[in-house]
A and B are shown apart, each in its own frame.
Chain A
Amino acid sequence: MTPRIRYMLAAPLLAAPIIALLMPGIYNRTEPTLAGFPFFYWYQLLWVALTMCTMSGAYFLVVPAQKTRGKK
């Protein structure tokens, strides 16, 4: 993969948590509940775990891209 493609793949991974959380209108509701938690609460907590995944993905995409760029 060229560095350019790697950066383009990393961008949506970085943007995903921002979009998912900065529009509270989409998750500001009670149903469906999970283990007693209203949706509002478990949706946001779930995104913490998802963010760890997307950030790891972005890290492994971007770091090799930088190494190639440094050698140029």
Chain B
Amino acid sequence: MSAHQTGMQFDGVALAVFTVLFLLVAVMGFLASRWRRPADIMHLDEWGLGGRSFGTFIAWFLLGGDVFTAYTCIAVPALVFGVGALGFFAVPYAIVVWPIIFLFLPRLWSVSHRHGYVTTADFVEGRHGSRALTLAVALTGILATMPYIALQLVGIQVCLDAMGVGGGPDTPWIVREMPLFVAFALLAAYTYSAGLRAPAMIAFVKDSLIYLVVGVSIIYLPAKLGGWEHIFSAAGQKLAKTNPTTGKPFGGLLLSEKQLWPYCTLGFGSALALFIYPHSVTAVLSTKNRNVIRRNTALLPMYTILLGMIALLGLMALSSGITTGGNNSLSVPLLFKQNFPSWFTGVAFAAIGIGALVPAAIMSIAAANLFTRNVYRAFISPNATPAAETQVSKVASLLLKFGALVFVLALDKSFAIQFQLLGGIWIMQTFPALVFGLYTRWFHRRALFVGWLVGMVYGTATSYFVPAPGKPGTHFGGQIAEIPMLGHAGYIALTAFVLNVIVAVVLTLLFRSFKMEEGVDETSPSDYEADAGDPGVAQDLPTH
């Protein structure tokens, strides 16, 4: 399949507009380091949490940035393009997540502010008094973030690809992967210099661009493509065709009987996982008081509407006869390219590209914070100065991106959503230690650790043996597997999580009966209700 068949001709105008917008944002990023300038930028609270001073407005953009990434713009419509209704699970996911965070995140905010916690692992250490469990939570957070960053790289890459950067299949490997390396370099340079302030500031530009592009697409494209009724029926016909690699239909406009369980478990599992990712917690902790988060849960579903609209772009791409040459992630970029004038295609690609850059920066900062505080300072250099810590964080954020690059090169990119779902399997295993820990100390710390281990091993092994559709012998090709004893297929993260909890409960009962040492809890019940202005909750955190 040549580049011309898949519509990937070089588009100079689009590339020029894309580049100009990107440079503009880069300049903003560097200026951002002066915004709300603190006395000492070489401090982890500053580089990594933006000084913890964000109100409802900025927090809305920052929290929205956690949901609204290349996951939304590229991976979700690609799944809808590939399989139809099942890809729409992202909508229930992005709805169910709000009541869930309404419940537990204010508690995490309070206890973190009273004790100066910057990461989830900080809290786990303070609550359970277990170094092993803390290290497990920190390393899991770092590991789970990598495929999520990889997904962002894929997002930037497909935009560059669609503009014809990188050439066709006849060009050498290194040239074809060029867009990926360009995307990588952009991200690395940019996060390194500015810390969390940069993505917070650029989030405004990113969201304005995305709202503009989605608004235009949702009004202009249906009119151009013959109306919604036609889009649904044409997409339905395409989905009903037989997939030559599997011998079954591609999918459908509705869920098949067999997809009901995967749909539900993917939605629920993803929702539980989202706000325990290090980067989500970073965004939450950077808010200035307890109620900013709750107020935002009523406003953030705005992003879900956008997500739903973008998911429908996958159906539009189907109905307009886009062929992606096997890489479904190209469906939305090619849809834009086919239907928009070149200059607006450039704007749209810049929106997607910047929309991937911002969260990727937040993710790598958050995971770097985890490394610095809970691995480097806890195990390697306990007496590091704040400036040294910040330097380590900056370098760690670079190394993390190399990890992400490995995921991009090693995994099948045609369904990029698998990257995020794989990360979800891992991060879910920290849920009991973190979220249950916010409510109860009933669980024994060692039981939580063993539960985590069992969940990680089961989840990783199960996922390893799932081949990509139509490609037997490949690994990590999908995150859905049969749930033991239930006979239905479901999201592996949720199955592994249930297993994790069962192990934790059984062992807790066992360890209790043996009177095993419990560890010290440095928090007290009132810590979980504390708000800004209460005693012990300083607006500015004590230096560590």
Is A24's CB under 8 angstroms from B299's CB? Answer: no
Write out the residue numbers on chain A whose beta carbons fall within 8 Å of the beta carbon of B92: 21-22, 24, 44
A45 touches B253 (CB 8 A): no
Instruction: Give bound CA distance, A2 to B388, whole Å.
Output: 50
Determine how close the nearest CB of chain B comes to the CB of A11; give it in whole angstroms.
Answer: 10
Cross-chain contact B99 with A44 (CB below 8 angstroms): no
Q: How many B residues touch A, CB cutoff 8 Å?
A: 40
Interface flags, B72-113, vs A, CB<8A=1, else 0: 000000000000010010011001101110110000000000
Inter-chain CA distance A63–B534, complex, in Å, is: 16
Interface flags for B296-339 (1: CB within 8 Å of A; 0: not) read 01110110110010001000000000000000000000000000
Minimum CB–CB distance from B439 to chain A (whole Å) comes to 14
**Contact call B228/A24, Cβ cutoff below 8 A:** no
Contact among B260, B297, B304, B529 with A59 in the assembled complex (CB-CB below 8 Å): B297
**Chain A residues bordering chain B, tally (CB within 8 A):** 36
Min Cβ gap A60→B in Å is: 9
The minimal Cβ–Cβ distance linking A41 to chain B, given in whole angstroms, is: 7
In the docked arrangement, what's the CA distance between A14 and B104, Å? 12
Q: If the complex has contacts A24-B255, A28-B260, are A51 and B98 also in contact, measured as CB distance less than 8 A?
A: yes
Q: Say whether B298 contacts A29, CB under 8 Å.
A: no
A44 to B254, CA, bound (A): 13
B264 touches A23 (CB 8 A): yes
- Measured between beta carbons, the chain A residues less than 8 angstroms from B299 are 52
> Total number of A-B contacts with CB less than 8 angstroms?
107
Instruction: Name the contact of B294 in the complex, choosing from A25, A40, A59, A69 (C-beta under 8 A).
Output: A59
Most chain B CB within a 10 A radius of its CB, from A41, A59, A66: A41
Quote the shortest CB–CB distance from B264 to chain A (angstroms): 5
Point out the residue from B229, B263, B267, B534 that lies within 8 Å of A36, measured CB to CB: B229
Chain A residues contacting B302 (CB-CB under 8 Å) are 52
A54 to B298, CA, bound (A): 8
Asked if B12 CB lies within 8 Å of chain A CBs, one says no
| Contact partners of B215 in chain A: CB under 8 A | none
> Are B85 and A40 in contact (CB-based, < 8 A)?
yes
Which of chain A's residues have a CB closer than 8 A to the CB of B297? 55, 59
Residues of B contacting A1 with CB < 8 Å? none
- From residue 21 to 64 of chain A, which have CB atoms closer than 8 A to chain B? 21-25, 28-30, 33, 35-38, 40-41, 44-45, 47-49, 51-52, 54-56, 58-59, 62-63
With CB as the reference atom, state the residue of chain B lying closest to A35. B228
State in angstroms the CA–CA spacing of A22 and B265 once bound together.
8
| B192-251 residues at the A interface, CB under 8 angstroms | 227-232
What residue in chain A is nearest B311 (Cβ atoms)?
A: A41
Q: Which of A14, A22, A55 contacts B268 (CB 8 A)?
A: A22
Residues in A whose Cβ lies below 8 Å from that of B229: 33, 36
Instruction: Name the prevailing secondary structure of the A interface residues.
Output: helix
- Do A59 and B254 touch across chains, with their CB atoms under 8 A apart? no
Known contacts A37-B232, A56-B298, A59-B294; A14 and B267 CB within 8 A of each other: no
Evaluate whether A18 and B99 lie within 8 angstroms (CB atoms) in the complex, with A38-B232, A44-B308, A56-B298 already known.
yes
Q: Which residues of A contact B391 (CB under 8 A)?
A: none
Taking CB atoms, residues of chain A closer than 8 Å to B260 are 24-25, 28
Are A48 and B95 in contact, CB atoms less than 8 angstroms apart?
A: yes
Rounded to whole angstroms, the CA-CA distance of A39 and B295 in the bound complex is: 30
**Measured between alpha carbons, how far is A22 from B491 in the docked complex, in Å?**
13
Could you mark each residue 250-272 of chain B with 1 if its beta carbon is under 8 Å from any beta carbon of chain A, else 0? 00011100001001100110000
A37 to B534, CA, bound (A): 50
Expressed in whole angstroms, the minimum distance between the Cβ of A42 and any Cβ of chain B is 10
Query: How close is B20's CB to chain A, nearest CB, in angstroms?
Result: 34
Q: Are B88 and A44 within 8 A (Cβ)? A: yes
Distance A69 CA – B295 CA, assembled complex (angstroms): 19
Residues of B participating in the A interface, judged by any CB pair closer than 8 Å: 85, 88, 91-92, 95-96, 98-100, 102-103, 227-232, 253-255, 260, 263-264, 267-268, 291, 294-295, 297-299, 301-302, 304-305, 308, 312, 529, 531, 534
The 10 tightest CB contacts between A and B, nearest first, are: A36-B228, A36-B229, A21-B92, A55-B298, A14-B99, A56-B298, A48-B304, A44-B91, A52-B301, A24-B263
Inter-chain pairs besides A30-B254, A33-B229, A41-B88, 15 sampled, C-beta below 8 Å: A18-B96, A22-B96, A22-B264, A24-B260, A36-B229, A37-B232, A38-B232, A40-B88, A44-B88, A52-B298, A52-B299, A52-B301, A55-B301, A56-B298, A58-B99
7 sampled A-B residue pairs with Cβ under 8 A: A14-B103, A15-B99, A33-B229, A36-B230, A37-B228, A51-B95, A58-B102
Q: Using CB atoms and an 8 Å cutoff, list the residues of chain A in contact with chain B.
A: 14-15, 17-18, 21-25, 28-30, 33, 35-38, 40-41, 44-45, 47-49, 51-52, 54-56, 58-59, 62-63, 66, 69-70
